[in-house]
């Protein structure tokens, strides 16, 4: 038995999310039943999708229940086991949520996965070699499906998904262009992540200016676009898309506070005979082994060097999450729990 601090969703946001939507509680972990393991979380993942789950509205997944531990990916180690497949000390990744410990039915498919930390740090299994990395892989490989020489663009280029996108695109012989907020992030995108160019949306802060910057960075137009943001940035990118271009629609962080996101010129989809496909990576578990193998190799060989922003302690999770929604993080946002 251990004392377990947890963050629950106390009330739903009215517009923008605030720290008061969350509540810190504590309880003792229950005794294990056959097949269960107790996991001591080392890191908690904070991701933009969590904001959508806080709303009580129709979406691709059920809303986060009030009074329950916030959903979230975790990595840690087995602290106690009543399952022969898992030994104390095994490093594991799962969906333990915003808490210090979780009790997991380790026989449930996909509930827990052992990971090897010999060449890949444990925390990276929540980012580059985890769900965000596989998200980048699926959108690029399965939807954009680029040919060598294609130009591909990603918004939120220095976030957890965008960071993996450049290495994957360069491995396929593409010109990779990022969109990020601030000169430091854009410099990091080019100098460390391997983007050929990165456009600062804070400097080019409307559709006309962004479209002009994209024209300079993408002289042959855009063949594939990985969308994480939506809103006016998507409007600007749409103006530069080539005929028969493809859009992987992953996130719409600009609309996560509940307001609809109108599109300025949807006729471009018809004019350019574009393919636009939304996807949820957890619905495509069949690709995860191939994706994780490539991502692990890229990290292990130094071709993918993800950066992390780390908050300390479970109590810091709400403010770190609100900062993520405003783009204050640099790379993958994590909470260190030990």
Answer yes or no: same fold for 3-127+306-336 and 131-282: no
112 confidence band (pLDDT: 50, 70, 90): very high
Given a cut of 90, whether residue 54 has pLDDT beyond it is yes
143 confidence band (pLDDT: 50, 70, 90): very high
Give the pLDDT mean for 282-287.
Answer: 94
β-bridge mates for residue 146, sequence order: none
Given a cut of 80, whether residue 125 has pLDDT beyond it is yes
Q: Please give the share of the chain, as a percent, with pLDDT higher than 90.
A: 90
Among 19-23, 70-74, 157-161, the least confident range: 157-161
User: What pLDDT score was predicted for residue 57?
Assistant: 76
* pLDDT tens sequence across 294-316: 999 999 999 998 999 999 999 99
Mean pLDDT computed over every residue of the chain: 95
The candidate with the shortest Cα–Cα distance to 78, out of 42, 131, 34, 123, is 42
Q: How far lies 310's CA from each of 293, 306, 323, 331, in Å?
A: 25, 13, 12, 10
* pLDDT tens sequence across 176-200: 999 999 999 999 999 999 999 999 9
Given a cut of 80, whether residue 259 has pLDDT beyond it is no
* pLDDT tens sequence across 71-96: 999 999 999 999 999 999 999 999 99
Domain 131-282 in this protein, CATH class: alpha beta
pTM of the shown model: 0.91
- The domain ranges of the chain are 3-127+306-336, 131-282
Tokens of 229: 């943001």
Is 43 in contact with 126 (CB distance < 8 Å)? yes
Per-residue three-class SS string for 63-119: CCCCCCECCCCEEEEEEEECCCCCCCCCEEEECCCCECEEEEECCCCCCEEECCCCC
Is 134 in contact with 73 (CB distance < 8 Å)? no
Given a cut of 80, whether residue 103 has pLDDT beyond it is yes
Q: Could you give the CA distance from residue 286 to residue 304 in angstroms, rounded to a whole number?
A: 23
DSSP letter assigned to residue 325? H
User: What pLDDT score was predicted for residue 251?
Assistant: 87
Q: Please give the share of the chain, as a percent, with pLDDT higher than 70.
A: 99
User: What pLDDT score was predicted for residue 75?
Assistant: 98
User: What pLDDT score was predicted for residue 1?
Assistant: 78
β-bridge mates for residue 5, sequence order: 26
User: What pLDDT score was predicted for residue 185?
Assistant: 95
Q: Could you give the CA distance from residue 221 to residue 277 in angstroms, rounded to a whole number?
A: 20
Contacts of 175 (CB under 8 A, 6+ apart): 149, 150, 151, 152, 196, 218, 220
The H or E element spanning position 271 is helix 267-271
Q: Per the CATH hierarchy, to which homologous superfamily does domain 3-127+306-336 belong?
A: Medium-chain alcohol dehydrogenases, catalytic domain (3.90.180.10)
User: What pLDDT score was predicted for residue 173?
Assistant: 98
41 confidence band (pLDDT: 50, 70, 90): very high
């Amino acid at each position: 038995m251990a004392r377990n601090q947890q963050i629950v969703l106390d009330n739903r946001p009215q517009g923008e999310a605030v720290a008061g939507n969350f509540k810190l509680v504590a309880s003792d972990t229950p005794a294990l039943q056959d097949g269960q393991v107790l996991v001591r979380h080392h890191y908690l993942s904070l991701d933009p999708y969590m904001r959508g789950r806080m709303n009580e509205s129709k979406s691709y997944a059920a809303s986060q229940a009030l009074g329950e531990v916030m959903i979230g990916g975790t990595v840690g180690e087995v602290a106690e086991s009543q399952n022969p497949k898992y030994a104390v000390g095994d490093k594991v990744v799962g969906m333990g949520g915003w808490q210090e410990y979780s009790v997991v039915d380790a026989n449930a498919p996909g509930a827990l996965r052992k990971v090897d930390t010999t060449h890949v740090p444990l925390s990276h299994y929540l980012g580059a070699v985890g769900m965000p990395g596989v998200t980048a892989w699926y959108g690029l490989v399965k939807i954009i499906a680029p040919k060598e020489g294609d130009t591909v663009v990603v918004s939120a280029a220095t976030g957890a998904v965008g960071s993996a996108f450049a290495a994957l695109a360069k491995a396929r012989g593409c010109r990779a262009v990022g969109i990020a907020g601030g000169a430091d992030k854009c410099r990091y995108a080019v100098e460390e992540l391997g983007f050929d160019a990165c456009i600062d949306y804070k400097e080019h802060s409307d559709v006309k200016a962004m479209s002009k910057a994209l024209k300079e960075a993408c002289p042959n137009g855009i063949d594939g676009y990985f969308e994480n943001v939506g809103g006016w940035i998507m409007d600007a990118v749409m103006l530069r898309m080539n005929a028969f271009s493809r859009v992987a629609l992953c996130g719409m962080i600009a609309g996560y506070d509940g307001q609809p996101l109108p599109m300025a010129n949807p006729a471009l989809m018809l004019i350019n005979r574009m393919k636009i496909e939304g996807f949820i990576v957890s619905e495509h578990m069949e690709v995860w082994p191939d994706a994780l193998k490539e991502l692990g190799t890229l990290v292990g060989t130094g071709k993918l060097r993800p950066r992390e922003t780390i908050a300390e302690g479970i109590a810091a999770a709400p403010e770190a999450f609100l900062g993520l929604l405003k783009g204050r993080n640099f790379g993958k946002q994590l909470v260190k729990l030990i």
